[in-house]
């Protein structure tokens, strides 16, 4: 008998003896079987918000704000924190123990003080009457449907989106816990709450989590009334001047009640890696953390099988392999990690879309005590090989992949921060159409469901955790809690996300002020990088650099070089030389490659080009990149930026300039454009607006002209010929109106009213074809594009007749009646011939008949301060958007009615099933 068999035999002898000696386990009779329950707690909440802080149940004191410059340039130098002293009555010391599972050094774990702060406050009590409070369903963003702040000195400025995201709010919900749950462990899992969340149950302060973007868990068990109603109360405190973009407000992601046996797989307790992969077999390693929350030692058996996953990431069919069962003795109140491995024959690899397939697997872990199953835990994962090569760039499963990425903020436009799977999927679908294959999550952990989507849809992801460390960018940002929480936030962020195959790298910082502090900043970077590698040694980690140069200590702490704007140079082109202040540097790809020949280089932010969809301002710069300013590519009256896609933020570059710099340095792995979609807040250059101008796609989800420039580069096999500007210029007869062509071809001929204006070829390092001397005539513009001398594609623009009709199209005409699924309906104003009138701004009214509701409306204009809740809005350059949702549980039809003065009414029908 070999050693393993002897050990297993001894284990089972001990199981029998243990079972004979212990009539009960967990203080009750053993049940035949138990599987964990995960219950969504999104309905039935009562909500109340106040802008000030009358309850004084504060996490910690915050520095007073003397002066705020809301519209400072985004690459301004972060500054040193303001020192403050905590008061004795703050609740920080009761909240800090919530971080203990993510602090490695036992001597640094937090001890909860005596006492129960807040127990006498009315909102935490079960008998408090909250009937008058607003009834809400999660995910919930309290600010998104409120009026925008206006004026020169708003309470919340353009940087944070001019919406009332600030303030203190309470959420209350009664939860019924059955007597049959006695003996189970009951957890509250919150995927995201903005911010300084503190949770009371039945008047007891359970714990909380300050960082609004991280998911967290609290153990409710000690405070529960089993067999009765339990009162949950959650307090959020969202300070103003806490972000450089719109943070949202509220419990804006899902909340779950998780019921487990006392012995179970710990929170995010599995980690699956595949260090050895070939076409014939893959070695799969499993790290499994188990937790025993009983008062006695438990003898535990763990079994894990691997299944193929279906299209929704769920296990299907029969198990295709398994890990050897593991038997351990788990002490009272102990966590213990088991490591094992197995071989999988003929593995189906996960890879990038469209070149590769997105094969996924599910590892199903079952936990047994004395032959009885007490837990089951599923882990979705993929098998893939990723290599960061210093000269070849990124290799996925041995295939070189050029990174064609974008940066994405967390808001969903008119839906705000409240996460919605369909809205996120729509964003990814349009990015896929663009040719985008990678997402950098700027600058915070995402909703977990977003990563499920990137896994299934084949996007690469750089997952990012912080925008600031100890030095501040805004007075109330993360720097206030970085000393206490950076370790816990980093570890929990990685443990939650590390099984997602779409994640290729970790980012532990974005343009942090510590770039400026030499060795001191590098020391913090080293600490964070080490924490990342302790949690996941299989992926590289970096922090993006917009200031640190190759010879600085900060750069040496990066596994790969993650450069923001430095590759193509900052404020270095002729049109930028007059700018004062800010960072100025020549293109630095060669310098970084020389200093770090062993490390891959990627541009984690490029471009920051600015434009308003469908708006064109004259004259047009003859440069291939120019900074926007009043009267130069921008109109300060209408707060519009020209759609010629040549104008940028002060520190930015046009797409053309970025493409040329990357093509001159082919060892660069690729780029992440700033940004994929417009987002709420940071409305450079007009901080009296509400949302950004830098997206390839506008806030409503309508394509800017820039979309076709990137698509021409990223999908060269797709025949594209796109003309800009539009051709409705009644006031420009005879005036020079430049015409630019974006094409995946290499040559084009332009015709105006049938007359050729010449045939031109793209020169080397040119990415558009320009006719800068065209004089406007009413009529027809036509372009014919060629590739390798052969016809490739064509497009025609016509001067339209006056507005006559409304055209409505839906992204989908059938949606689920689950209260979550959405239909996005685009409205276009057309002439009598059905051509969209590109300068139309008619006021449109929306109403809905039937079994649904209008969730929000938009038009994509960054300067529009019409509430997203409005059922009346002007079209912006011919277009508007309506978002519709079906009522939960009610199947049937709904009809959207669209009217506008002087235009034919139209309707569109949506079915819910």
DSSP string over 752-795: ETTEEEEEEEPPTT--SEEETTPBP-SSEEEEEEEETTEEEEEE
Contacts of 149 by beta carbon, 8 Å cutoff, 6+ apart: 155, 156, 157, 162, 163, 164
CB atoms within 10 A of CB 554: 26
Helix ranges, 38-123 (H): 92-95
Please give the radius of gyration of the chain, using alpha carbons only, rounded to the nearest integer. Answer: 29
Cβ atoms of 257 and 42 within 8 Å: the answer is no
DSSP secondary structure code for residue 677 in this structure: B
CA angle 804, 805, 808 (to 5 degrees): 160
Q: Is 281 marked active-site?
A: no
Contacts of 171 by beta carbon, 8 Å cutoff, 6+ apart: 45, 46, 47, 136, 233, 234, 236, 250, 251
Cβ atoms of 340 and 288 within 8 Å: the answer is yes
Nearest C-alpha neighbor of 97 from the set 208, 234, 194, 204: 208
Cβ atoms of 122 and 128 within 8 Å: the answer is yes
Q: How far is CA 24 from CA 29, 183, 184, 261, in A?
A: 5, 11, 14, 14
The SS3 of residue 479 is helix
Q: Which of 291, 301, 487, 511 is catalytic?
A: 511
Sign of CA dihedral 883, 889, 893, 894: negative
CB atoms within 10 A of CB 630: 11
Facing residues of 350 across strands? 358
Contacts of 878 by beta carbon, 8 Å cutoff, 6+ apart: 614, 828, 829, 836, 837, 838, 839, 840
Three-state SS letters, 522-591: HHHHHHHHHHHHHHCCCCCEEEEECCCCCCCHHHHCCCCEEEECCCCCECCCHHHCCCCCCCCECCCHHH
| Paired tokens of 66 | 């003397």
Dihedral of CA atoms 203, 206, 210, 214 in degrees, nearest 10, equals: -130
Nearest C-alpha neighbor of 643 from the set 722, 700, 574: 722
Kindly report the backbone phi and psi dihedral angles of residue 813, in degrees, each rounded to the nearest multiple of 5, phi listed first. Answer: -100, 0
Beta pairing class for 561-564 and 601-607:
parallel
Q: Which of 605, 640, 671, 682 is catalytic?
A: 605
CB atoms within 10 A of CB 341: 14
Q: Is 780 marked active-site?
A: no
Kindly report the backbone phi and psi dihedral angles of residue 591, in degrees, each rounded to the nearest multiple of 5, phi listed first. Answer: -65, -40
What region does 602 belong to: left with phi over 0, alpha with psi -120 to 50, or beta? beta
Compute the distance between CA of residue 402 and CA of residue 173 in angstroms, rounded to an integer: 48
Compute the distance between CA of residue 430 and CA of residue 436 in angstroms, rounded to an integer: 9
CB atoms within 10 A of CB 340: 15
Compute the distance between CA of residue 537 and CA of residue 526 in angstroms, rounded to an integer: 14
CA angle 223, 225, 227 (to 5 degrees): 155
Q: How far is CA 216 from CA 254, 320, 640, in A?
A: 11, 33, 41
| Paired tokens of 880 | 């508007």
Cβ atoms of 659 and 713 within 8 Å: the answer is yes
Residues assigned a catalytic role: 511, 605
């Amino acid at each position: 008998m070999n050693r393993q068999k002897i050990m297993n035999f001894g284990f089972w002898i001990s199981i029998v003896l243990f079972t004979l000696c212990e009539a009960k386990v967990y203080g009750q009779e053993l049940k035949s079987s138990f599987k964990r329950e995960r219950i969504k707690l999104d309905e039935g909440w009562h909500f109340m918000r106040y802008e000030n802080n009358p309850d004084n149940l504060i996490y910690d004191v915050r520095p007073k704000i003397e002066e705020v410059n809301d519209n400072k340039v985004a690459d301004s130098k972060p500054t040193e924190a303001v020192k403050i002293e905590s008061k004795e009555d703050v609740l920080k010391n009761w909240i800090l123990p919530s971080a203990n599972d993510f602090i490695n050094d036992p001597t640094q774990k937090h001890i909860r003080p005596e006492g129960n702060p807040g127990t006498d406050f009315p909102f935490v009590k079960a008998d408090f009457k909250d009937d008058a409070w607003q009834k809400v369903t999660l995910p919930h963003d309290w600010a998104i449907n409120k009026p925008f702040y206006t004026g020169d000195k708003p309470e919340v400025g353009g940087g944070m989106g001019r919406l009332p995201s600030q303030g203190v709010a309470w959420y209350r919900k009664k939860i019924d816990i059955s007597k049959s749950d006695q003996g189970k462990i009951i957890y509250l899992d919150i995927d995201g709450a903005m911010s300084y969340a503190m949770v009371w149950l039945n008047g007891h302060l359970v714990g909380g989590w300050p960082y609004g973007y991280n998911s967290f868990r609290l153990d409710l068990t000690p405070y529960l009334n089993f067999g009765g109603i339990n009162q949950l109360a959650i307090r959020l405190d969202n300070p103003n001047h806490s972000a450089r973009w719109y943070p949202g407000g509220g419990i804006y992601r899902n909340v779950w009640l998780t019921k487990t046996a006392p012995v179970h797989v710990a929170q995010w307790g599995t980690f699956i890696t595949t260090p050895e992969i070939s076409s014939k077999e893959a070695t799969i390693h499993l790290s499994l953390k188990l937790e025993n929350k009983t008062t006695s030692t438990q003898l535990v058996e763990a079994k894990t099988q691997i299944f193929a996953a279906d299209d929704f990431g769920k296990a299907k069919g029969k198990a295709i392999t398994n890990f050897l069962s593991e038997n351990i003795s788990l002490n009272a109140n102990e966590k213990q990690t088991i490591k094992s491995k197995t071989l999988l024959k003929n593995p189906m690899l996960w890879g990038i879309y469209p070149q590769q397939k997105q094969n996924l697997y599910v590892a199903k872990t079952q936990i047994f005590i004395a032959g009885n199953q007490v837990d089951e835990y599923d882990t979705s994962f993929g098998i893939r090989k990723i290599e960061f090569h210093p000269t070849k760039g990124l290799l996925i499963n041995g295939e070189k992949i050029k990174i064609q990425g974008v940066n994405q903020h967390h808001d969903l436009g008119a839906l705000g921060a409240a996460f919605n799977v369909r809205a996120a999927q729509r964003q990814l679908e349009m990015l896929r159409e663009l040719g985008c294959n990678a997402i950098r999550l700027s600058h915070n952990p995402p909703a977990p469901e977003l990563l499920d989507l990137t896994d299934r849809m084949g996007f690469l992801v750089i997952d990012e955790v912080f925008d600031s460390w100890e030095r501040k960018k805004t007075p109330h940002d993360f720097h206030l809690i970085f000393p206490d929480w950076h370790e816990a936030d980093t570890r929990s962020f990685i443990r939650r996300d590390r099984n997602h195959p779409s994640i290729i790298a970790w980012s532990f910082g974005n343009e942090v002020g510590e770039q400026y502090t030499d060795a001191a900043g590098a020391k913090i970077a080293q600490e964070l990088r080490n924490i990342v590698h302790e949690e996941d040694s299989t992926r590289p980690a970096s922090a993006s650099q917009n200031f640190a140069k190759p010879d600085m200590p900060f750069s040496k702490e990066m596994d790969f070089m993650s450069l923001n704007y430095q590759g193509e140079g900052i404020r270095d082109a002729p049109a930028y030389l007059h700018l004062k202040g800010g960072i100025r540097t020549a293109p630095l790809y060669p310098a970084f490659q020389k200093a770090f020949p062993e490390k891959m280089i990627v541009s984690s932010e490029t471009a920051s080009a600015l434009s308003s969809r469908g708006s064109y301002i004259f004259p047009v710069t003859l440069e291939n990149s120019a900074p926007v300013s009043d009267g130069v590519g921008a109109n300060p009256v209408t707060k519009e930026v020209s759609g010629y896609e040549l104008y940028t933020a002060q520190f930015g570059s046009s797409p053309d300039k970025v493409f040329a710099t990357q093509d001159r340095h082919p060892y660069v792995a690729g780029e992440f454009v700033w940004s994929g979609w417009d987002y709420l807040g940071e409305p450079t250059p007009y901080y009296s607006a509400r949302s950004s101008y830098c997206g390839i796609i506008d806030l409503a989800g309508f394509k800017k002209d820039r979309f076709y420039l990137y698509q021409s580069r990223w999908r060269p096999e797709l025949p594209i010929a796109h003309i800009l500007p539009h051709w409705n210029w009644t006031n420009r007869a005879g005036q020079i109106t430049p015409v630019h062509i974006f094409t995946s071809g290499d040559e084009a001929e332009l015709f105006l009213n049938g007359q050729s204006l010449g045939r031109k070829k793209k020169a080397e390092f040119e990415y558009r074809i320009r006719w800068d001397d065209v004089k406007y005539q009413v009529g027809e513009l036509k372009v014919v594009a060629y590739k390798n001398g052969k016809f490739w594609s064509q497009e025609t623009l016509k001067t339209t007749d006056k507005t006559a009709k409304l055209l409505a199209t839906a992204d989908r005409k059938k949606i689920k009646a689950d209260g979550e699924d959405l239909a996005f309906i685009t409205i276009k104003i057309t002439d009598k011939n059905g051509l969209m009138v590109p300068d139309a701004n008619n006021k449109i009214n929306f109403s809905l008949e039937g079994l649904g509701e209008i969730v929000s409306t938009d038009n994509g204009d960054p300067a529009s301060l019409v509430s997203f809740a409005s059922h009346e809005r002007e079209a912006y350059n011919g277009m508007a958007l309506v978002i519709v949702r079906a009522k939960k549980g009610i199947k049937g039809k709904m009809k959207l009615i669209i009217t506008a003065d002087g235009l034919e009414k139209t309707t569109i029908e949506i079915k819910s099933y």
